[in-house]
Amino acid sequence: MSIKQRPPLQGLKIVDLTTFLSGPSATQLLGDLGADVIKVEALTGDSSRAIAGPELDGDSAYFLANNRNKRSVAIDLKDPAGLAVIKKLIANADIVIENFRPGVTKRLGIDPEKLSIEHPALIWASISGFGQEGAQRDKPAYDMVVQALSGVMSLTGHEGAPAVRLGIPAGDVVAGLYAVIGILSALQARSTSGKGRVIDVSMLHGQLAMLSYQALYTMLKNEAPKPQGAAHDSIPTYRSFQAGDGREFVVTANTPRMWESLCQVLEVPELTTDPRFVDAPSRLANKHALWEILETQVLKRPADEWVRMLTEASVPVAPIKNVLEAIEDAREAADGSLLNIENGSTSYENVSTPIRFVETEEVPAKYPPKLGEDTISILTHELGISSLEVVDLIEKGVVGVPENSIALSRGPSLA
């Protein structure tokens, strides 16, 4: 029996100064990969803890979705004593991640450039709406703002209808993923140089990068693409269809073989020799005529039948499912895409990190921390602050602990 390797980021300590979504999604991923993530929160907590909507045990589902596998320390960052605690945390860390507006960390007294001189191996990642430099650096940004400014919203929805926000927080999550990529790259460089890096990730730039071929199409044609609906700008047989029972399914017939098989299944084999559709450029030039024929054909059967027949013909196809259906499929598959997170009698399901390592220990899913849940243990056991000093910091409102920890903090020992 082979011995499993430890989680890839085990042993790394991360100070997480982020709030809301872009940063927390990044630090959750790093925690899932084995890093020790210390979430530093204001005394009032990460603002996402109180977002309206579903909640569990006092915290919003929004917060719970992005904050597993972390420890929480509550600190007043504007208090000089709190700043001293933050600097001690950073001195013990490998990585700091923050998503303040540019310039805020310097005003708080935690300048990444100065701290990088004091701690040459430190990796510092900043996530902001528009990057640390440039004319827009000071503007506030949220997910929908960068979706709007990047052109992403103009591509989403149907022609003639108002622009539509993506149904997922792509502006936030993509920025978090790019931050993680930057951090892992900096860790690789540090393994040989011994020196850290300062990383600047812009949410807007992340969305521009996600435009992919649409950006190049636009630059080469000097023309803005229209809303994509459920179709593709270059492949007319890459789109959704509504079947006879009203249900929708998608077909991605990209190759000549798939095109021919699609025509056979839909019982229009003559299209393969029709001069209007004989090759990919012809089909693109005559896509509206082609769509009219295909749309008429798919109305003749229910969606499930088309999905079965096209699957048997090796044409990529899938029914369009809602989120509940997708989650139910994941539960039935039992393939590790969902995990159960427990905290005593409280538990909930969440989507797992989609990265799997063979012959590697799994990181147990730790329930998101209560505000200040780990303040006492981290300050005493990891920063070496005496019990009396910790009590003093709590009573002065410099650091925070859960209400049920206050009595403990006043006891004879915090050990």
**Span 347-362, pLDDT tens digits:** 999 999 999 999 999 9
Report the CATH number of the 238-320 domain: 3.30.1540.10
Range list of H helices, 267-348: 280-285, 287-298, 303-312, 323-333
Give me the numbers of helices (H) and strands (E) for the chain, helices first please: 18, 14
Q: How far apart are CA 351 and CA 188, in angstroms?
A: 28
| pLDDT tens profile 211-230 | 999 999 999 999 999 999 99
Using CA atoms, how far residue 271 sits from 222, 262, 275, 332, in Å, is: 33, 10, 8, 39
Phi first, then psi: give them for residue 56, nearest 5 degrees. -145, 125
3-state secondary structure (DSSP) of residue 108? helix
pTM of the model: 0.94
Residue closest to 133 by CA, chosen among 194, 193, 190, 204: 204
Separation CA 82–CA 168 (nearest Å)? 36
**Radius of gyration of the chain from Cα atoms?**
26
Q: What is the pLDDT of residues 285-312, one digit of tens each?
A: 999 999 999 999 999 999 999 999 999 9
Can you give 136-197 as a three-state secondary structure string? CCCCCCCHHHHHHHHCHHHHCCCCCCCCCCCCCCHHHHHHHHHHHHHHHHHHHHHHHHCCCC
Q: For 13-210+346-373, which CATH superfamily applies?
A: Crotonobetainyl-coa:carnitine coa-transferase; domain 1 (3.40.50.10540)
Are 174 and 152 in contact by the 8 Å Cβ rule? The answer is no
Rounded CA-CA distance 45/370 in Å is: 9
Among candidate residues 376, 353, 251, 383, the one with its CA nearest the CA of residue 306: 251
pLDDT range class, residue 410, cuts 50, 70, 90: very low
232 is catalytic: yes
Task: Write down the pLDDT at residue 404.
Answer: 61
| pLDDT tier, 376 (very low <50, low <70, confident <90, very high otherwise) | very high
What's phi and psi for 220, nearest 5 deg? -75, -35
Q: Provide the β-strand partners of residue 136.
A: none
pLDDT above 60 for 415: no
Q: For residue 135, what are its two tokens? A: 């004319």
Strands (E), 7-57: 13-17, 36-41, 55-56
The CA distance from 238 to 251, in Å, is: 6
SS3 206: helix
Interaxial angle between packed helices 387-395 and 80-91, expressed in degrees from 0 to 180 and rounded to the nearest 10: 130
Average pLDDT over residues 383-406: 91
3-state secondary structure of 381: helix
Span 233-291, pLDDT tens digits:
999 999 999 999 999 999 999 999 999 999 999 999 999 999 999 999 999 999 999 99
Residue 88 has pLDDT above 50, yes or no: yes
Confidence of residue 407 (pLDDT cuts 50, 70, 90): very low
Tell which residue, 99, 84, 90, has the closest CA to residue 119: 90
Residue 2 binned pLDDT confidence (cut-offs 50, 70, 90): confident
355 to each of 196, 337, 408, how far by Cα in Å?
A: 25, 10, 40
Overall size of the chain counted in residues:
415
Of 119, 232, 288, 381, catalytic: 232
pLDDT of residue 65: 98
16 three-state secondary structure: strand
The candidate with the shortest Cα–Cα distance to 285, out of 270, 296, 274, 297, is 274
Domain boundaries along the sequence of the chain: 13-210+346-373, 238-320
User: Scanning the structure block, which residue is given the tokens 């502006």?
Assistant: 171
User: Do 400 and 372 touch, CB atoms closer than 8 A?
Assistant: yes
